[in-house]
Structure 1
Amino acid sequence: MGLARRYADLLATTGISHGLVGPREAPRLWQRHLVNCALPQALLAQGTTVIDIGSGAGLPGVVLAIARPDLEVHLVEPLLRRTTWLEATIDELGLTNVTVHRGRAEEMTLAAPVVTARAVASLDRLVAWSFPLLTPGGRLLALKGEAAGAELEQAQDVLRRAGVEHSTMHVLGEGHVSEPVRVVEIVRPHEWQPEGKGAARSRPARARASKKRGRRGPSASR
């Protein structure tokens, strides 16, 4: 909780001055953002490697790294001012299980069993961006709003074309928090292949990292 409070303070100060968080969000950081981003940890096995795409202010990646020191978290963010803030925040919090990567998801050569995304894009785009980063059988966990169920239904044609056999929506925290989080889970098929390529990509985690922290394990094996 001490680290979470320090992170909340950074979001409410430099996070706002750097344009990562809107000023009106400061009074509801815990309710709407921090608790919301912590709940999906229930879907993560011990020691999992997580790639958080479009990480922005580190939501949910930094929150998951604080709540679960056993996780190895890779934050992928294309904007320099955001990656600079993320690096400074990681330094300030002393997090050793987080790596920041500057670039777009489609430019990365990372691989992991879990990709997360919050308020980044529609499900069809998230599938296109996340599947090349997922190991066979890996899972996209997309944090969505109240329309998550309808969005998942609308994406069924895209998922069928991608060969997806398993997709579902989790509602986490219902009855315990004021704003439950809806997480759309989409499993990458073992036989999925990128368009125009002969084999599915499954590489060890590696990328152009703007800063690395702590030990790096063999991500693809987790």
Structure 2
Amino acid sequence: MTARSALEAKLEQGLATLGLALPDEALPRLLDYLALLERWNSAYNLTAIRDPAEMVTLHLLDSLAILPYVEGETLADLGTGPGLPGIPLAIAAPGRQILLVDSNGKKVRFLREAIRTLKLEGVRAVQSRVEEVEGRFDCITARAFASLADMLAWGGHLLAPGGRWLAMKGKRPEDELQHLPADFAVRGLHALAVPGLGAERHLVVLGRAGDGARC
């Protein structure tokens, strides 16, 4: 078994465990993204994860675990780093307009190369501080980015009316939940089981106060 076929098998098994059925072209494109990340990482230190098998678990499957909660036609991924979860989500569910936001120039150069190489239509990358980004988005994702209060203070203006903010966390963030801005409310709190990952993962779904039911 080649190294790529071993990664493909691991990814396929993980997707099956998550109950996700992706388009036929998604699997090879996810692996192409991983290969590009691994290649750039050796020179630019984009992620602390070096082992491709660990990248399947910690980057791809961890990102795709939130796919059932992504909604709307536009998405902003704040503090995306090397494109997580934004690029896996773009590959797994094409057709959405996605903005990848990071303040690190090296990472944004990688993002633009990944968008070009992988032919990710409707995906853009911008080098910016979150508070300086403009626009409104149906869905906002943020992975290991900041506290919930800071996330919403810096980027809350980006959430469209009726939109959903998907905050990816490790342990259940009890203390952070007590310090949300008054104009935002928790719409759902989900424990995620990422295949191959022993650590806790939680997804906090946020929305504007008075802006719809829990999900």
Query: Would the TM-score normalized by the shorter structure come out above 0.5?
Result: yes
Q: Deviations over 1:171-201 (max 9, x none)?
A: 23x3x7233742111112368xxxxxxxxxx
Q: Residues 156, 181 of structure 1: CA spacing in aligned structure 2 closer, same or farther, 3 A cutoff?
A: closer
TM superposition shift of 1:117? 0.7
Other structure's SS at 2:29 match: helix
Q: Which amino acid aligns with 2:184?
A: V
Q: Does 1:121 align with 2:142?
A: no
Q: Does 1:12 align with 2:48?
A: no
Query: Which contiguous aligned blocks of 4+ residues in structure 1 show a shift greater than 4 angstroms?
Result: none
Contact 1:74 1:100 in 2 (8 A): yes
Q: Deviations over 1:55-97 (max 9, x none)?
A: 1100000110010102211001112111111101111111112
Instruction: Provide the residue aligned with 1:29 in structure 2.
Output: 55
Instruction: Provide the residue aligned with 1:64 in structure 2.
Output: 89
Q: Does 1:143 align with 2:163?
A: no
Q: Which amino acid aligns with 1:154?
A: D
Instruction: Provide the residue aligned with 1:189 in structure 2.
Output: 209
TM superposition shift of 1:13? 1.5
Q: Residues 155, 23 of structure 1: CA spacing in aligned structure 2 closer, same or farther, 3 A cutoff?
A: closer
Q: Deviations over 1:113-143 (max 9, x none)?
A: 1110111111111111231100123221111
List runs of 5+ in structure 1 lacking aligned partners: 192-222
TM superposition shift of 1:23? 5.1
Instruction: Provide the residue aligned with 2:103 in structure 1.
Output: 78
Q: Does 1:131 align with 2:156?
A: yes
Q: Does 1:101 align with 2:126?
A: yes
Q: Which amino acid aligns with 1:49?
A: T
Per the normalisation by structure 2, the TM-score is 0.78
Instruction: Provide the residue aligned with 1:43 in structure 2.
Output: 69
Greater RCO (CA < 8 Å, at least 6 residues apart): 1
Q: Residues 119, 166 of structure 1: CA spacing in aligned structure 2 closer, same or farther, 3 A cutoff?
A: closer
Q: Does 1:2 align with 2:2?
A: no
Q: Does 1:155 align with 2:176?
A: yes
Per the normalisation by structure 1, the TM-score is 0.75
Other structure's SS at 1:155 match: helix
